[in-house]
């Protein structure tokens, strides 16, 4: 049995997988078991933002793996303390809770928001409002929070106390906000929902509504954070900060890690024993996180992400001018989406055949989330392939 056959035979069938097994990666490139090389414009779904096997991150992982991998959160470890300090120093937050994935980071945020009010005796304030088309994860609480029905099929009954409002619609949110709501939770740019950015004034408007009603504001930056959108955290461009923010994906450049960051006031909702995770913030994961954060948070690195994102968007918009099938190019930094008339997955398959990895979401959107180290020459090569595919009539 080869890897593909074994995987199909023994791994739960929750994913439709493409191609042959990958055996190695370096920077922008992945190599499969036949030696075919692919240029990666997905980065493990916005995870390997420094590229595959970044030498400094790999060295940090190797060094830590030889020193100490795990001791549990009953004890102190230096990499965890260092990463928490660095995250706090580079954000609005005062405290960090470490988890192992995005969904777990969001679970922590949801639990913190509820407990924040309940421990003050405000037991009726437990509702959480999220956005239509949002994506927050696959655990029971986070799939309930997610604003997409297809994610929920087969998992009823869901949790109590979640409702969704249309994204970018401040009036709809205002109508829904009452004294039973403990938190509003949202992505600054909806990733899985179709790469849909919040309107520039919307985030500030949401912040103002939350302030007026005493509601906690949670930004899910699991996909948008860690430089993906051109600033360390995507919300930085709107000039307001949340009470709670979640991170995962690129935080360990591929080593599983999630984090929930909170202000001192919000973090008071947790006390010893109220939440936990065996693996959350292991020395190994947080050592990878420290190195990744150090590199990505360099202002020169982030300026280059913005520059390359602008260039990429311009090239994609040039294709839009040429092909009426392309309806819109949108996104921020190096999280870009191209909405086409239909059948986005056909483009994904054909790009793959030509050695480029991209991704389709919501049937009609091509998503591009390359490693942030992508160069304009890589972008030009992908755009040339897309151009040739749009020119072909048979993909319509
Ligand atoms: C915005 C957002 N939140 C949460 C998640 C869930 O993260 P994970 O798959 O690590 O649980 C994702 C994953 O795509 C995401 O994009």
Handedness of CA 345, 347, 349, 355 (dihedral sign): negative
What is the fold of 3-53+299-395?
Answer: 3.90.1150
Ligand 1 atom nearest residue 103's Cα:
11
Contact between 316 and 383 under an 8 Å Cβ cutoff? The reply is yes
More confident residue, 19 or 366: 366
Please give the backbone phi and psi of residue 388, each rounded to the nearest 5 degrees, phi first.
-65, -35
pLDDT at 345 over 80: yes
Mean pLDDT rounded to a whole number for the chain: 97
pLDDT band at 200; cut points 50, 70, 90: confident
pLDDT of residue 275: 98
How many Cβ atoms sit within 10 Å of the Cβ of residue 67?
12
Beta carbon of 254 within 6 Å of any ligand 1 atom: no
The pTM for the full model equals 0.98
Beta carbon of 27 within 6 Å of any ligand 1 atom: no
pLDDT band at 362; cut points 50, 70, 90: confident
- Any bridge partners for residue 368, and if so which? 336
pLDDT at 395 over 80: no
Could you tell which of 105, 245, 249 is best to mutate to test the pocket of ligand 1, judged by most ligand atoms within 8 Å of the CB?
Answer: 249
Ligand 1 atom nearest residue 220's Cα:
1
pLDDT digits (tens, 9 = 90+) for 260-309: 999 999 999 999 999 999 999 999 999 999 999 999 999 999 999 999 99
What is the fold of 68-296?
Answer: 3.40.640
Of all protein residues, the one whose alpha carbon is nearest to atom 10 of ligand 1 is: 102
Could you tell which of 105, 136, 257, 285 is best to mutate to test the pocket of ligand 1, judged by most ligand atoms within 8 Å of the CB?
Answer: 136
Beta carbon of 40 within 6 Å of any ligand 1 atom: no
Domain ranges of the chain: 3-53+299-395, 68-296
Q: What is the mean pLDDT of residues 58-87?
A: 98
pLDDT digits (tens, 9 = 90+) for 235-261: 999 999 999 999 999 999 999 999 999
How buried is residue 80: exposed, middle or buried, by Cβ count under 10 Å (0-12/13-18/19+)? buried
Half-sphere exposure of 52 (CA within 13 A, CB side): 19
251: nearest Cα among 219, 217, 221: 221
- Cα-to-centroid distance, 106 and ligand 1 (Å): 9
């Amino acid at each position: 049995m080869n890897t593909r056959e074994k995987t199909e035979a023994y791994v739960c069938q929750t994913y439709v997988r493409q191609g042959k097994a990958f055996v190695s990666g370096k920077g922008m490139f992945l190599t499969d078991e036949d030696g075919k090389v692919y240029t990666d414009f997905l980065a493990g779904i916005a995870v390997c933002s420094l590229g595959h096997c970044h030498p400094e991150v790999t060295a940090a992982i190797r060094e830590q793996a030889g020193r100490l991998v795990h001791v549990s959160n009953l004890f102190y470890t230096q990499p965890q303390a260092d990463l928490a300090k660095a995250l706090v120093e580079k954000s609005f937050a005062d405290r960090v809770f470490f988890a192992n994935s995005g969904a777990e980071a969001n679970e922590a945020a949801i639990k913190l928001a509820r407990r924040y009010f309940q421990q003050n005796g405000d037991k009726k304030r437990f509702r959480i409002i999220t956005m239509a088309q949002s994506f927050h994860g696959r655990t029971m609480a986070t799939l309930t929070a997610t604003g997409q029905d297809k994610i929920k099929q087969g998992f009823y009954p869901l949790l109590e106390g979640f409702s969704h409002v249309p994204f970018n619609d401040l009036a709809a949110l205002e109508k829904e906000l009452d004294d039973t709501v403990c938190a509003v939770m949202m992505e600054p740019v909806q990733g899985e929902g179709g790469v849909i950015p919040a309107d520039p004034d919307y985030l500030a408007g949401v912040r103002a509504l939350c302030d007026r009603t005493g509601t906690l504001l949670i930004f899910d930056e699991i996909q948008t954070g860690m430089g993906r959108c051109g600033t360390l955290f995507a919300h930085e461009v709107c000039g307001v900060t949340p009470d709670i923010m979640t991170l995962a994906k690129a935080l360990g450049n591929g080593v599983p890690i999630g984090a929930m960051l909170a202000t001192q006031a919000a973090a008071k909702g947790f006390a010893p024993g109220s939440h936990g995770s065996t693996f959350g913030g292991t020395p190994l994961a947080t050592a990878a996180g420290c190195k990744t954060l150090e590199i990505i948070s360099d202002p020169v690195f982030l300026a280059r992400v913005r520059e390359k994102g602008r260039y990429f968007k311009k090239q994609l918009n040039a294709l839009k001018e040429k092909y009426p099938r392309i309806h819109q190019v949108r996104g921020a930094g190096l999280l870009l989406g191209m909405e086409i008339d239909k059948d986005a997955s056909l483009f994904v398959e054909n790009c793959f055949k030509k050695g480029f990895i991209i991704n389709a979401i919501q049937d009609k959107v091509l998503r591009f989330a390359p490693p942030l180290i992508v160069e304009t020459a890589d972008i030009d090569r992908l755009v040339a392939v897309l151009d040739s595919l749009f020119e072909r009539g048979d993909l319509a």
